[in-house]
Amino acid sequence: MIPPVHCYVLSERALVIAWVQRIDPAIAASIRKLQKQLTNQPFEGMLELVPAYASLTVFYDPLRVRNQYATSNSQRWVEAYLWQHIEKEQDQVVTSASRHIEIPVQYGGVNGPDLPYVAQHCGLSEAEVIDWHSRAVYQVYLLGFVPGFAYLGGLNEKLATPRKHTPRQGVPAGSVGIAGAQTGIYPVPITGGWQIIGRTSLTLFDVRENPPARLQAGDTVTFVPIS
Amino acid sequence: MIARVVKAGVLTTVQDLGRAGYRSQGVVVGGAMDGFAHRISNSLVGNSAEWATLEVTFGGLELYFEAESWIAITGHGVAVRIDGTEADCWRPLRIAAGSRLQLAYTGQGCRSYVAIRGGWQVPEVLGSYSTYLPAGWGGYEGRALRTGDVLTYGQNLPPLHPSLNWSLAPAALPAYQTHPTVRVIRGPEWGFFTPESQRAFSRQSHEVLPQSNRMGYRLEARMQKLRTTELLSTAVTAGTIQVLPDGNLVVLMNDAPTTGGYPRIAQVIEPDLSVMAQLVRGNQVQFSLLSPEQAEDKYVQYQEFTRNLEETLVQRLHPTTNVH
Protein backbone atom coordinates (compact mmCIF):
# COMPACT_ATOMS: atom_id res chain seq x y z
CA MET A 1 0.00 0.00 0.00
CA ILE A 2 1.47 3.30 -1.12
CA PRO A 3 -0.03 6.22 0.84
CA PRO A 4 -1.28 9.35 -0.92
CA VAL A 5 0.74 12.53 -0.43
CA HIS A 6 -1.92 15.21 -0.30
CA CYS A 7 -5.53 16.20 -0.70
CA TYR A 8 -6.72 19.28 -2.58
CA VAL A 9 -9.90 21.09 -3.52
CA LEU A 10 -11.14 20.67 -7.08
CA SER A 11 -14.49 22.45 -6.60
CA GLU A 12 -17.05 23.23 -3.89
CA ARG A 13 -18.12 19.63 -4.11
CA ALA A 14 -15.04 17.68 -5.07
CA LEU A 15 -11.81 16.83 -3.26
CA VAL A 16 -8.89 15.05 -4.88
CA ILE A 17 -6.66 12.60 -3.02
CA ALA A 18 -3.33 12.67 -4.85
CA TRP A 19 -0.43 10.23 -4.88
CA VAL A 20 3.07 10.88 -6.17
CA GLN A 21 2.36 11.70 -9.82
CA ARG A 22 3.66 8.73 -11.72
CA ILE A 23 2.19 5.81 -13.66
CA ASP A 24 2.83 2.90 -11.34
CA PRO A 25 0.81 -0.30 -10.90
CA ALA A 26 1.44 -0.19 -7.12
CA ILE A 27 -0.11 3.29 -6.90
CA ALA A 28 -3.00 2.14 -9.06
CA ALA A 29 -3.57 -0.79 -6.67
CA SER A 30 -3.56 1.57 -3.68
CA ILE A 31 -6.14 3.80 -5.40
CA ARG A 32 -8.32 0.75 -6.08
CA LYS A 33 -8.16 -0.29 -2.44
CA LEU A 34 -9.16 3.11 -1.14
CA GLN A 35 -11.91 3.33 -3.75
CA LYS A 36 -13.24 -0.02 -2.60
CA GLN A 37 -13.10 0.91 1.04
CA LEU A 38 -14.90 4.21 0.52
CA THR A 39 -17.52 2.50 -1.63
CA ASN A 40 -18.14 0.03 1.21
CA GLN A 41 -18.21 2.75 3.84
CA PRO A 42 -19.48 5.91 2.16
CA PHE A 43 -20.12 9.02 4.22
CA GLU A 44 -23.55 10.63 4.00
CA GLY A 45 -23.54 12.81 0.87
CA MET A 46 -20.72 11.00 -0.95
CA LEU A 47 -21.76 10.88 -4.62
CA GLU A 48 -19.04 9.59 -6.94
CA LEU A 49 -15.44 8.37 -6.91
CA VAL A 50 -13.30 8.92 -10.00
CA PRO A 51 -9.99 7.05 -10.09
CA ALA A 52 -7.20 8.32 -12.35
CA TYR A 53 -3.50 7.47 -12.82
CA ALA A 54 -2.40 8.79 -9.44
CA SER A 55 -5.49 10.28 -7.85
CA LEU A 56 -8.94 9.52 -6.54
CA THR A 57 -11.50 12.30 -6.82
CA VAL A 58 -14.40 12.32 -4.37
CA PHE A 59 -17.58 14.16 -5.40
CA TYR A 60 -20.01 14.96 -2.57
CA ASP A 61 -23.03 17.07 -1.69
CA PRO A 62 -21.96 19.83 0.74
CA LEU A 63 -25.53 20.37 1.97
CA ARG A 64 -25.99 16.76 3.00
CA VAL A 65 -22.58 16.66 4.67
CA ARG A 66 -23.30 19.86 6.59
CA ASN A 67 -26.70 18.65 7.75
CA GLN A 68 -25.72 15.10 8.58
CA TYR A 69 -22.51 15.87 10.47
CA ALA A 70 -23.49 19.27 11.89
CA THR A 71 -20.48 21.01 10.43
CA SER A 72 -20.19 24.53 9.04
CA ASN A 73 -17.62 23.47 6.43
CA SER A 74 -18.15 20.21 4.59
CA GLN A 75 -14.83 20.39 2.78
CA ARG A 76 -12.79 20.24 6.00
CA TRP A 77 -15.07 17.51 7.33
CA VAL A 78 -14.73 15.36 4.19
CA GLU A 79 -10.98 15.83 4.10
CA ALA A 80 -10.66 14.70 7.72
CA TYR A 81 -12.87 11.68 6.98
CA LEU A 82 -10.74 10.72 3.98
CA TRP A 83 -7.44 10.92 5.89
CA GLN A 84 -8.89 8.85 8.69
CA HIS A 85 -9.75 6.14 6.17
CA ILE A 86 -6.38 6.36 4.50
CA GLU A 87 -4.65 5.76 7.84
CA LYS A 88 -6.88 2.80 8.59
CA GLU A 89 -6.17 1.47 5.12
CA GLN A 90 -2.42 1.37 5.81
CA ASP A 91 -2.81 -1.48 8.29
CA GLN A 92 -5.39 -3.43 6.36
CA VAL A 93 -4.73 -6.04 3.78
CA VAL A 94 -7.58 -5.74 1.32
CA THR A 95 -7.33 -8.22 -1.46
CA SER A 96 -9.01 -6.95 -4.56
CA ALA A 97 -9.55 -9.54 -7.24
CA SER A 98 -8.39 -8.12 -10.56
CA ARG A 99 -9.99 -9.28 -13.77
CA HIS A 100 -8.13 -10.17 -16.92
CA ILE A 101 -9.81 -9.49 -20.25
CA GLU A 102 -8.69 -10.71 -23.67
CA ILE A 103 -9.55 -8.51 -26.60
CA PRO A 104 -9.58 -10.08 -30.07
CA VAL A 105 -8.14 -7.64 -32.63
CA GLN A 106 -7.97 -7.67 -36.41
CA TYR A 107 -4.75 -5.80 -37.06
CA GLY A 108 -3.97 -3.85 -40.22
CA GLY A 109 -5.86 -3.47 -43.48
CA VAL A 110 -9.10 -1.49 -43.35
CA ASN A 111 -9.29 -2.14 -39.61
CA GLY A 112 -5.84 -0.73 -38.91
CA PRO A 113 -5.09 1.89 -41.56
CA ASP A 114 -2.12 3.35 -39.63
CA LEU A 115 -0.30 0.04 -39.05
CA PRO A 116 2.10 0.65 -41.99
CA TYR A 117 2.92 4.14 -40.64
CA VAL A 118 3.54 2.85 -37.10
CA ALA A 119 5.77 0.07 -38.45
CA GLN A 120 7.76 2.52 -40.55
CA HIS A 121 8.05 5.05 -37.70
CA CYS A 122 9.27 2.37 -35.28
CA GLY A 123 11.59 0.69 -37.78
CA LEU A 124 9.75 -2.62 -37.45
CA SER A 125 7.80 -4.86 -39.78
CA GLU A 126 4.00 -4.85 -39.44
CA ALA A 127 4.19 -8.38 -38.04
CA GLU A 128 6.64 -7.21 -35.38
CA VAL A 129 4.34 -4.34 -34.36
CA ILE A 130 1.46 -6.81 -33.98
CA ASP A 131 3.70 -9.18 -32.07
CA TRP A 132 4.95 -6.55 -29.57
CA HIS A 133 1.50 -5.02 -29.18
CA SER A 134 -0.22 -8.33 -28.47
CA ARG A 135 2.52 -9.75 -26.27
CA ALA A 136 2.24 -7.17 -23.48
CA VAL A 137 -0.12 -7.29 -20.51
CA TYR A 138 -1.77 -3.91 -20.11
CA GLN A 139 -3.35 -2.37 -17.09
CA VAL A 140 -6.47 -0.15 -17.15
CA TYR A 141 -5.59 2.97 -15.17
CA LEU A 142 -8.67 5.08 -15.79
CA LEU A 143 -11.67 5.62 -18.02
CA GLY A 144 -12.03 9.07 -19.48
CA PHE A 145 -11.92 11.30 -22.54
CA VAL A 146 -15.02 9.65 -24.02
CA PRO A 147 -17.43 7.16 -22.40
CA GLY A 148 -15.69 3.87 -21.64
CA PHE A 149 -12.33 4.90 -23.11
CA ALA A 150 -9.70 2.93 -21.16
CA TYR A 151 -6.26 4.42 -20.65
CA LEU A 152 -3.93 1.43 -20.80
CA GLY A 153 -0.45 1.34 -19.34
CA GLY A 154 2.24 -1.08 -20.45
CA LEU A 155 2.87 -0.31 -24.12
CA ASN A 156 6.33 -1.41 -25.20
CA GLU A 157 8.39 1.73 -25.81
CA LYS A 158 9.45 0.29 -29.15
CA LEU A 159 5.92 1.08 -30.37
CA ALA A 160 5.65 4.69 -29.19
CA THR A 161 4.38 6.78 -32.12
CA PRO A 162 3.19 10.39 -32.08
CA ARG A 163 -0.46 11.26 -32.70
CA LYS A 164 -1.59 12.15 -36.21
CA HIS A 165 -1.19 15.80 -37.19
CA THR A 166 -4.78 15.97 -38.36
CA PRO A 167 -7.31 13.92 -36.42
CA ARG A 168 -9.24 11.38 -38.47
CA GLN A 169 -12.99 11.95 -38.76
CA GLY A 170 -15.25 9.08 -37.80
CA VAL A 171 -12.91 6.58 -36.16
CA PRO A 172 -15.11 3.43 -35.85
CA ALA A 173 -15.98 1.99 -32.44
CA GLY A 174 -13.55 -0.75 -31.42
CA SER A 175 -10.55 0.88 -33.10
CA VAL A 176 -7.28 0.14 -31.31
CA GLY A 177 -4.84 3.02 -31.38
CA ILE A 178 -1.42 4.24 -30.30
CA ALA A 179 -0.66 7.80 -29.16
CA GLY A 180 2.81 8.47 -27.83
CA ALA A 181 3.54 5.79 -25.27
CA GLN A 182 -0.13 4.92 -24.76
CA THR A 183 -2.45 2.45 -26.35
CA GLY A 184 -6.22 2.32 -26.10
CA ILE A 185 -9.50 1.40 -27.75
CA TYR A 186 -12.15 3.81 -29.01
CA PRO A 187 -15.42 2.54 -27.47
CA VAL A 188 -17.67 4.86 -29.48
CA PRO A 189 -17.27 6.28 -32.99
CA ILE A 190 -15.62 9.70 -32.69
CA THR A 191 -13.03 11.99 -34.27
CA GLY A 192 -9.60 10.98 -33.03
CA GLY A 193 -5.90 11.60 -33.49
CA TRP A 194 -4.52 8.22 -32.43
CA GLN A 195 -2.71 5.96 -34.90
CA ILE A 196 -5.22 3.17 -35.61
CA ILE A 197 -3.57 -0.23 -35.92
CA GLY A 198 -6.52 -2.59 -35.57
CA ARG A 199 -10.10 -3.09 -34.49
CA THR A 200 -12.00 -5.33 -32.12
CA SER A 201 -15.57 -6.46 -32.65
CA LEU A 202 -16.18 -6.48 -28.88
CA THR A 203 -18.67 -3.89 -27.65
CA LEU A 204 -16.75 -1.83 -25.09
CA PHE A 205 -19.53 0.47 -24.01
CA ASP A 206 -23.22 -0.34 -23.76
CA VAL A 207 -25.67 1.99 -22.03
CA ARG A 208 -27.90 -1.01 -21.23
CA GLU A 209 -25.19 -2.69 -19.14
CA ASN A 210 -24.26 -1.93 -15.55
CA PRO A 211 -21.52 -0.78 -15.43
CA PRO A 212 -21.80 0.38 -19.05
CA ALA A 213 -18.05 0.11 -19.74
CA ARG A 214 -16.64 -3.38 -20.33
CA LEU A 215 -13.18 -2.43 -19.07
CA GLN A 216 -12.84 -1.08 -15.56
CA ALA A 217 -9.93 0.62 -13.82
CA GLY A 218 -7.81 -2.13 -12.27
CA ASP A 219 -8.45 -4.71 -15.00
CA THR A 220 -5.60 -6.20 -16.98
CA VAL A 221 -5.92 -6.61 -20.73
CA THR A 222 -4.20 -8.49 -23.53
CA PHE A 223 -4.83 -8.17 -27.24
CA VAL A 224 -5.23 -11.38 -29.21
CA PRO A 225 -4.53 -11.10 -32.94
CA ILE A 226 -7.18 -12.70 -35.14
CA SER A 227 -7.30 -12.89 -38.88
CA MET B 1 -48.63 14.47 -30.26
CA ILE B 2 -48.57 17.70 -28.27
CA ALA B 3 -46.16 19.88 -30.21
CA ARG B 4 -44.52 19.67 -33.61
CA VAL B 5 -41.20 21.30 -34.44
CA VAL B 6 -41.81 23.80 -37.22
CA LYS B 7 -38.28 25.24 -37.00
CA ALA B 8 -35.59 23.69 -34.83
CA GLY B 9 -33.35 26.75 -34.56
CA VAL B 10 -29.56 26.67 -34.50
CA LEU B 11 -29.25 23.99 -31.83
CA THR B 12 -32.12 22.73 -29.71
CA THR B 13 -31.53 19.71 -27.51
CA VAL B 14 -33.33 17.97 -24.66
CA GLN B 15 -31.50 18.51 -21.35
CA ASP B 16 -31.93 17.92 -17.64
CA LEU B 17 -29.72 18.02 -14.54
CA GLY B 18 -27.16 15.69 -16.14
CA ARG B 19 -25.98 12.11 -15.68
CA ALA B 20 -25.05 11.41 -12.09
CA GLY B 21 -22.95 8.44 -11.07
CA TYR B 22 -21.10 7.55 -14.28
CA ARG B 23 -18.01 9.75 -14.17
CA SER B 24 -15.85 6.74 -13.31
CA GLN B 25 -17.06 5.18 -16.59
CA GLY B 26 -15.83 8.17 -18.56
CA VAL B 27 -19.40 9.31 -19.15
CA VAL B 28 -19.75 13.07 -19.41
CA VAL B 29 -22.20 14.63 -16.97
CA GLY B 30 -23.94 16.83 -19.56
CA GLY B 31 -27.24 18.47 -18.68
CA ALA B 32 -28.50 22.03 -18.98
CA MET B 33 -25.70 24.58 -19.31
CA ASP B 34 -27.72 27.15 -17.36
CA GLY B 35 -28.84 24.87 -14.55
CA PHE B 36 -30.73 27.63 -12.75
CA ALA B 37 -32.82 28.51 -15.81
CA HIS B 38 -33.56 24.82 -16.41
CA ARG B 39 -34.69 24.24 -12.82
CA ILE B 40 -36.83 27.36 -12.62
CA SER B 41 -38.51 26.75 -16.00
CA ASN B 42 -39.64 23.42 -14.57
CA SER B 43 -40.91 24.83 -11.28
CA LEU B 44 -42.83 27.59 -13.13
CA VAL B 45 -45.08 24.87 -14.55
CA GLY B 46 -45.13 22.65 -11.46
CA ASN B 47 -42.58 20.09 -12.67
CA SER B 48 -39.75 18.37 -10.80
CA ALA B 49 -36.28 19.80 -11.34
CA GLU B 50 -35.21 16.45 -12.88
CA TRP B 51 -37.66 16.57 -15.77
CA ALA B 52 -36.54 17.29 -19.30
CA THR B 53 -36.59 20.77 -20.84
CA LEU B 54 -35.56 22.00 -24.28
CA GLU B 55 -32.28 23.92 -24.35
CA VAL B 56 -32.48 26.40 -27.22
CA THR B 57 -29.17 27.90 -28.34
CA PHE B 58 -29.43 31.24 -30.17
CA GLY B 59 -33.22 30.99 -30.47
CA GLY B 60 -34.89 30.15 -33.75
CA LEU B 61 -37.19 27.48 -32.33
CA GLU B 62 -40.76 27.40 -33.55
CA LEU B 63 -43.29 24.93 -32.18
CA TYR B 64 -46.87 24.25 -33.22
CA PHE B 65 -49.03 23.09 -30.29
CA GLU B 66 -51.80 20.68 -31.12
CA ALA B 67 -53.17 20.54 -27.59
CA GLU B 68 -53.58 23.14 -24.86
CA SER B 69 -50.42 23.23 -22.77
CA TRP B 70 -48.70 25.14 -19.99
CA ILE B 71 -45.13 26.12 -20.68
CA ALA B 72 -42.42 28.38 -19.24
CA ILE B 73 -39.44 29.92 -21.01
CA THR B 74 -36.37 31.01 -19.07
CA GLY B 75 -32.71 31.71 -19.70
CA HIS B 76 -31.32 34.65 -21.61
CA GLY B 77 -31.41 35.83 -25.18
CA VAL B 78 -34.83 35.22 -26.70
CA ALA B 79 -37.96 37.21 -27.47
CA VAL B 80 -41.06 35.03 -27.23
CA ARG B 81 -44.15 35.24 -29.42
CA ILE B 82 -47.30 33.16 -29.20
CA ASP B 83 -49.35 33.47 -32.39
CA GLY B 84 -47.49 36.68 -33.12
CA THR B 85 -48.17 38.28 -29.72
CA GLU B 86 -45.24 39.02 -27.43
CA ALA B 87 -45.04 36.97 -24.25
CA ASP B 88 -42.78 37.18 -21.21
CA CYS B 89 -40.08 34.81 -20.09
CA TRP B 90 -39.81 33.53 -16.50
CA ARG B 91 -43.56 32.95 -16.02
CA PRO B 92 -46.12 30.24 -16.64
CA LEU B 93 -47.70 30.65 -20.07
CA ARG B 94 -50.89 29.03 -21.30
CA ILE B 95 -50.76 27.93 -24.91
CA ALA B 96 -54.10 27.31 -26.58
CA ALA B 97 -54.52 24.36 -28.91
CA GLY B 98 -53.52 25.33 -32.45
CA SER B 99 -51.04 28.00 -31.34
CA ARG B 100 -47.58 28.71 -32.63
CA LEU B 101 -44.67 29.50 -30.29
CA GLN B 102 -41.67 31.39 -31.66
CA LEU B 103 -38.34 32.11 -29.96
CA ALA B 104 -36.33 34.84 -31.70
CA TYR B 105 -32.70 35.48 -30.73
CA THR B 106 -32.16 38.97 -29.30
CA GLY B 107 -28.42 39.19 -29.85
CA GLN B 108 -27.49 39.02 -26.17
CA GLY B 109 -27.15 35.84 -24.16
CA CYS B 110 -27.15 32.39 -25.63
CA ARG B 111 -29.39 29.75 -24.12
CA SER B 112 -33.05 29.56 -23.22
CA TYR B 113 -35.12 26.73 -21.79
CA VAL B 114 -38.62 25.63 -22.67
CA ALA B 115 -40.38 23.55 -20.01
CA ILE B 116 -43.80 22.02 -20.51
CA ARG B 117 -46.14 21.03 -17.67
CA GLY B 118 -45.61 17.27 -17.37
CA GLY B 119 -42.05 17.40 -18.74
CA TRP B 120 -40.94 16.56 -22.29
CA GLN B 121 -41.01 12.84 -22.87
CA VAL B 122 -37.83 11.12 -24.01
CA PRO B 123 -36.33 7.78 -22.95
CA GLU B 124 -33.92 7.75 -20.03
CA VAL B 125 -30.34 6.78 -20.87
CA LEU B 126 -28.04 6.06 -17.90
CA GLY B 127 -30.47 7.79 -15.58
CA SER B 128 -30.82 11.03 -17.52
CA TYR B 129 -32.77 12.65 -20.35
CA SER B 130 -29.88 14.84 -21.47
CA THR B 131 -28.65 14.69 -25.05
CA TYR B 132 -24.96 13.89 -25.54
CA LEU B 133 -24.36 14.78 -29.17
CA PRO B 134 -20.79 13.44 -29.68
CA ALA B 135 -21.88 9.88 -28.84
CA GLY B 136 -25.41 10.27 -30.19
CA TRP B 137 -27.28 9.32 -27.05
CA GLY B 138 -29.96 10.56 -24.78
CA GLY B 139 -32.59 13.22 -25.41
CA TYR B 140 -34.51 13.03 -28.66
CA GLU B 141 -32.94 10.10 -30.57
CA GLY B 142 -29.50 11.24 -29.43
CA ARG B 143 -29.58 14.28 -31.68
CA ALA B 144 -30.61 17.93 -31.92
CA LEU B 145 -34.25 18.59 -32.82
CA ARG B 146 -35.21 18.85 -36.49
CA THR B 147 -38.17 20.18 -38.38
CA GLY B 148 -41.05 17.75 -38.21
CA ASP B 149 -40.07 16.15 -34.88
CA VAL B 150 -43.04 15.39 -32.70
CA LEU B 151 -42.89 16.13 -28.98
CA THR B 152 -45.11 15.00 -26.18
CA TYR B 153 -45.12 15.25 -22.40
CA GLY B 154 -44.10 12.60 -19.94
CA GLN B 155 -46.64 13.04 -17.14
CA ASN B 156 -50.30 13.93 -17.44
CA LEU B 157 -50.79 16.71 -14.88
CA PRO B 158 -54.03 18.68 -14.40
CA PRO B 159 -54.04 22.08 -16.14
CA LEU B 160 -53.10 25.15 -14.10
CA HIS B 161 -55.51 27.89 -13.11
CA PRO B 162 -56.08 30.05 -16.24
CA SER B 163 -55.73 33.34 -14.36
CA LEU B 164 -52.00 32.91 -13.58
CA ASN B 165 -50.39 36.15 -14.67
CA TRP B 166 -47.27 36.78 -12.61
CA SER B 167 -43.59 36.63 -13.56
CA LEU B 168 -40.48 35.97 -11.53
CA ALA B 169 -38.96 39.19 -10.15
CA PRO B 170 -35.82 40.23 -12.07
CA ALA B 171 -33.93 40.38 -8.74
CA ALA B 172 -34.26 36.60 -8.44
CA LEU B 173 -32.46 35.97 -11.76
CA PRO B 174 -28.73 35.35 -12.23
CA ALA B 175 -26.73 38.49 -13.08
CA TYR B 176 -26.65 37.83 -16.84
CA GLN B 177 -24.22 40.27 -18.47
CA THR B 178 -22.03 40.56 -21.52
CA HIS B 179 -19.07 41.55 -19.28
CA PRO B 180 -19.69 39.56 -16.11
CA THR B 181 -17.44 39.04 -13.15
CA VAL B 182 -17.29 35.34 -12.46
CA ARG B 183 -16.13 34.05 -9.09
CA VAL B 184 -13.41 31.40 -8.96
CA ILE B 185 -11.18 29.60 -6.50
CA ARG B 186 -7.52 28.93 -7.25
CA GLY B 187 -6.98 25.67 -9.07
CA PRO B 188 -4.54 22.90 -8.10
CA GLU B 189 -1.97 24.12 -10.65
CA TRP B 190 -2.31 27.85 -9.89
CA GLY B 191 1.33 27.84 -8.79
CA PHE B 192 2.50 26.61 -12.20
CA PHE B 193 2.12 30.12 -13.61
CA THR B 194 4.28 33.23 -13.35
CA PRO B 195 3.19 35.95 -10.89
CA GLU B 196 2.51 38.22 -13.90
CA SER B 197 0.22 35.60 -15.41
CA GLN B 198 -1.56 35.08 -12.10
CA ARG B 199 -2.15 38.83 -11.85
CA ALA B 200 -3.33 39.03 -15.47
CA PHE B 201 -5.69 36.12 -14.84
CA SER B 202 -7.56 37.89 -12.07
CA ARG B 203 -7.17 41.54 -13.11
CA GLN B 204 -7.71 41.53 -16.86
CA SER B 205 -10.82 40.77 -18.85
CA HIS B 206 -10.72 37.74 -21.09
CA GLU B 207 -12.51 37.70 -24.42
CA VAL B 208 -14.71 34.74 -25.32
CA LEU B 209 -13.29 33.15 -28.48
CA PRO B 210 -15.37 31.61 -31.27
CA GLN B 211 -14.40 28.00 -30.48
CA SER B 212 -16.81 27.89 -27.52
CA ASN B 213 -19.52 25.29 -27.11
CA ARG B 214 -21.18 22.90 -24.65
CA MET B 215 -17.77 21.31 -23.93
CA GLY B 216 -16.15 24.55 -22.90
CA TYR B 217 -15.55 28.25 -23.38
CA ARG B 218 -12.25 29.33 -24.90
CA LEU B 219 -10.98 32.59 -23.49
CA GLU B 220 -8.19 34.79 -24.75
CA ALA B 221 -5.18 34.93 -22.41
CA ARG B 222 -1.42 34.69 -22.49
CA MET B 223 -0.64 32.53 -19.49
CA GLN B 224 3.06 31.78 -19.01
CA LYS B 225 4.15 28.66 -17.16
CA LEU B 226 7.02 28.59 -14.67
CA ARG B 227 7.54 24.90 -15.22
CA THR B 228 6.83 22.55 -18.05
CA THR B 229 5.86 19.51 -15.94
CA GLU B 230 3.62 17.13 -17.85
CA LEU B 231 0.51 16.26 -15.87
CA LEU B 232 -1.15 12.90 -15.55
CA SER B 233 -4.86 12.96 -16.37
CA THR B 234 -7.06 13.59 -13.33
CA ALA B 235 -10.75 14.31 -12.87
CA VAL B 236 -12.06 17.66 -14.04
CA THR B 237 -15.57 19.03 -13.70
CA ALA B 238 -17.80 21.78 -15.07
CA GLY B 239 -16.19 25.09 -14.20
CA THR B 240 -12.60 23.82 -14.25
CA ILE B 241 -10.42 26.39 -16.03
CA GLN B 242 -7.54 24.75 -17.87
CA VAL B 243 -4.65 26.49 -19.57
CA LEU B 244 -4.09 25.30 -23.12
CA PRO B 245 -0.60 24.95 -24.60
CA ASP B 246 -1.08 28.25 -26.50
CA GLY B 247 -1.66 30.13 -23.20
CA ASN B 248 -5.40 30.57 -23.76
CA LEU B 249 -7.93 29.42 -21.17
CA VAL B 250 -10.74 26.93 -21.50
CA VAL B 251 -13.57 26.95 -18.98
CA LEU B 252 -14.93 23.41 -19.07
CA MET B 253 -18.71 23.17 -19.27
CA ASN B 254 -21.30 20.39 -19.09
CA ASP B 255 -20.19 18.26 -22.06
CA ALA B 256 -16.49 18.33 -21.10
CA PRO B 257 -14.63 15.04 -20.67
CA THR B 258 -14.54 13.67 -17.13
CA THR B 259 -10.74 13.75 -16.99
CA GLY B 260 -8.09 16.05 -18.37
CA GLY B 261 -4.37 16.68 -18.33
CA TYR B 262 -3.93 20.43 -18.87
CA PRO B 263 -3.00 22.53 -15.83
CA ARG B 264 -6.03 23.73 -13.87
CA ILE B 265 -5.46 27.37 -12.98
CA ALA B 266 -8.86 27.97 -11.36
CA GLN B 267 -12.38 26.68 -10.80
CA VAL B 268 -15.56 28.69 -11.44
CA ILE B 269 -17.96 28.36 -8.52
CA GLU B 270 -21.12 26.51 -9.43
CA PRO B 271 -23.55 29.42 -8.83
CA ASP B 272 -21.76 31.41 -11.55
CA LEU B 273 -21.88 28.68 -14.22
CA SER B 274 -25.32 29.93 -15.29
CA VAL B 275 -23.80 33.32 -16.09
CA MET B 276 -20.90 31.65 -17.89
CA ALA B 277 -23.33 29.54 -19.94
CA GLN B 278 -24.92 32.65 -21.43
CA LEU B 279 -21.73 34.16 -22.88
CA VAL B 280 -21.13 34.41 -26.60
CA ARG B 281 -18.04 35.17 -28.68
CA GLY B 282 -16.78 38.68 -28.15
CA ASN B 283 -18.11 38.93 -24.57
CA GLN B 284 -15.56 39.69 -21.85
CA VAL B 285 -15.18 37.79 -18.59
CA GLN B 286 -13.41 39.00 -15.49
CA PHE B 287 -12.51 36.59 -12.69
CA SER B 288 -12.58 37.38 -8.98
CA LEU B 289 -10.91 35.09 -6.46
CA LEU B 290 -12.65 33.52 -3.47
CA SER B 291 -11.26 31.22 -0.81
CA PRO B 292 -12.51 27.60 -0.90
CA GLU B 293 -14.48 28.31 2.32
CA GLN B 294 -16.22 31.31 0.73
CA ALA B 295 -16.93 29.23 -2.37
CA GLU B 296 -18.60 26.52 -0.32
CA ASP B 297 -20.73 29.11 1.53
CA LYS B 298 -21.79 30.66 -1.79
CA TYR B 299 -22.67 27.22 -3.13
CA VAL B 300 -24.78 26.36 -0.08
CA GLN B 301 -26.55 29.75 -0.18
CA TYR B 302 -27.23 29.33 -3.90
CA GLN B 303 -28.66 25.83 -3.48
CA GLU B 304 -30.85 26.93 -0.58
CA PHE B 305 -32.04 30.00 -2.49
CA THR B 306 -32.87 27.92 -5.56
CA ARG B 307 -34.70 25.26 -3.57
CA ASN B 308 -36.75 27.85 -1.68
CA LEU B 309 -37.59 29.59 -4.93
CA GLU B 310 -38.66 26.31 -6.52
CA GLU B 311 -40.93 25.50 -3.58
CA THR B 312 -42.42 29.00 -3.55
CA LEU B 313 -43.15 28.89 -7.28
CA VAL B 314 -44.76 25.47 -7.16
CA GLN B 315 -46.98 26.60 -4.26
CA ARG B 316 -48.01 29.75 -6.09
CA LEU B 317 -49.28 27.70 -9.03
CA HIS B 318 -52.15 26.39 -6.93
CA PRO B 319 -54.52 29.19 -5.92
CA THR B 320 -56.04 27.18 -3.05
CA THR B 321 -52.75 27.20 -1.21
CA ASN B 322 -52.22 30.86 -2.02
CA VAL B 323 -54.39 32.50 0.64
CA HIS B 324 -54.06 36.26 1.11
Residues 6+ apart with CB under 8 A from A43: A60, A65, A68, A69, A78, A81
Closest residue of chain A to B126, computed from CA coordinates: A207
Query: How far apart are alpha carbons B182 and B277 in whole angstroms?
Result: 11
pLDDT in the model for residue B319: 63
Cβ contact A60:A68 at 8 Å: no
Is residue A140's pLDDT more than 80? yes
pLDDT in the model for residue A92: 67
Q: What pTM value is reported for the model? A: 0.94
The minimal CB distance from A48 to the residues B23, B135, B239 is found for B23
* DSSP string for A142-198: EE-SSTTPEEEE---GGG-BPPPSSPEEEEPTTEEEEEBTEEEE-SS-EEE-SEEEE
Using pLDDT thresholds of 50, 70 and 90, give the confidence band for residue A169: confident
Query: How far apart are alpha carbons B4 and A181 in whole angstroms?
Result: 51
pLDDT in the model for residue A96: 62
Residues 6+ apart with CB under 8 A from A64: A44, A45
Residues 6+ apart with CB under 8 A from B77: B58, B59, B105, B106, B107, B108, B109, B110, B111, B112, B278
ipTM of the complex: 0.95
Per-residue model confidence as pLDDT tens for chain B (324 residues): 899 999 999 999 999 999 999 999 999 999 999 999 999 999 999 999 999 999 999 999 999 999 999 999 999 999 999 999 999 999 999 999 999 999 999 999 999 999 999 999 999 999 999 999 988 899 999 999 999 999 999 999 999 998 888 999 999 999 999 999 999 999 999 999 999 999 999 999 999 999 999 999 999 999 999 987 778 889 999 999 999 999 999 999 999 999 998 999 999 999 999 999 999 999 999 999 999 999 999 999 999 999 999 999 999 998 654 444
pLDDT in the model for residue B174: 94
End-to-end alpha carbon distance in chain A: 42
Q: Tell me: the pLDDT tens digits for A177-206?
A: 999 888 999 998 888 889 999 999 999 999
Which helix or strand (DSSP H or E) is residue B5 part of?
A: strand B3-8
- SS3 assignment, position B13: strand
Are A148 and B24 an interchain contact pair (Cβ–Cβ within 8 Å)?
Answer: no
Q: Using DSSP, how many helices (H) and how many strands (E) does chain B show?
A: 4, 20
Nearest to B281 by CA among B181, B210, B215: B210
Residues A133-140: what's their mean pLDDT? 95
Q: Tell me: the pLDDT tens digits for A50-71?
A: 999 999 999 999 999 999 999 9
Domains annotated on chain A, with CATH: 5-88 (3.30.1360.40), 100-225 (2.40.100.10)
* DSSP string for A188-214: S-EEE-SEEEEE--S--B-TTSSSSBS
Q: Phi/psi at A142 (nearest 5 deg)?
A: -160, 160
pLDDT in the model for residue B278: 98
The minimal CB distance from B21 to the residues A48, A145, A188 is found for A48
Q: Tell me: the pLDDT tens digits for A68-120?
A: 999 999 999 999 999 998 988 666 665 666 799 999 999 999 999 999 999 99
pLDDT-wise least confident of A77-81, A163-167, A221-225: A163-167
- Per residue, the 3-state secondary structure of A45-66, as one string, reads CEEEEEECCCEEEEEECHHHHH
Cβ contact B131:B139 at 8 Å: yes
Sheet of B3-8, strand order: B85-87, B78-82, B99-105, B61-65, B3-8, B150-151
Interhelix angle B35-43/B292-316, nearest 10 degrees: 20
Closest residue of chain B to A209, computed from CA coordinates: B126
pLDDT in the model for residue A95: 61
For chain B, which residues lie within 8 Å of any Cβ of chain A, measuring from their own Cβ? 20-28, 125-126, 134-135, 137, 185, 188, 231-237, 239-240, 257-260, 264, 267, 269-270, 292-293, 295-296, 298-300, 303-304
Is residue A12's pLDDT more than 70? yes
